[in-house]
Amino acid sequence: MIIISPSVLAADFSVLGAELDKVAKAGAQYIHLDVMDGIFVPNISFGPPVISSLRKKSEVVFDVHLMITDPIRYIDDYVKAGADIITIHYESCENPLEVVRYIRSKGVSPCVSIKPETPPEVLFDMMNELDMVLVMTVEPGFGGQKMIPEMVAKVRVLRDHIEKNGLSVNIEVDGGITPENAPQVIDAGANVIVAGSAIFRADDPKAVIEKIKALG
In this structure, the chain runs to a length of 216
Residue nearest to ligand DX5 (CB): 196
CB atoms closer than 10 angstroms to residue 70: 14
Residue 154 in the binding site for Zn ion (CB under 5 A): no
Non-local (6+) Cβ contacts of 71 within 8 A are 86, 88, 89, 92, 93, 99
Residue 37 in the binding site for Zn ion (CB under 5 A): no
Active site residue 84: no
Residue 65 in the binding site for Zn ion (CB under 5 A): yes
The entry of ligand DX5, Zn ion, none that residue 10 binds, CB within 5 to 8 Å by partner kind? ligand DX5
Active site residue 131: no
67 vs 161 by CB, closer to ligand DX5: 67
34 vs 37 by CB, closer to Zn ion: 34
The residues of the shown chain that bind ligand DX5, judged by CB under 6 A, are 7, 9-10, 32, 34, 65, 138, 140-145, 174-177, 194-198
Question: Which 3-state string (H, E, C) describes 3-31?
Answer: EEEEEHHHCCHHHHHHHHHHHHHCCCCEE
The entry of Zn ion, ligand DX5, none that residue 176 binds, CB within 5 to 8 Å by partner kind? ligand DX5
Residue 89 in the binding site for Zn ion (CB under 5 A): no
Write the CA distances from 98 to 35, 38, 77, 192, integer angstroms: 20, 23, 17, 24
Alpha-carbon distance of 26 to 143, in angstroms, equals 21
Query: Which residues are known catalytic residues?
Result: 34, 174
**Where along the sequence are the contacts to Zn ion (CB under 5 A)?**
34, 65, 174
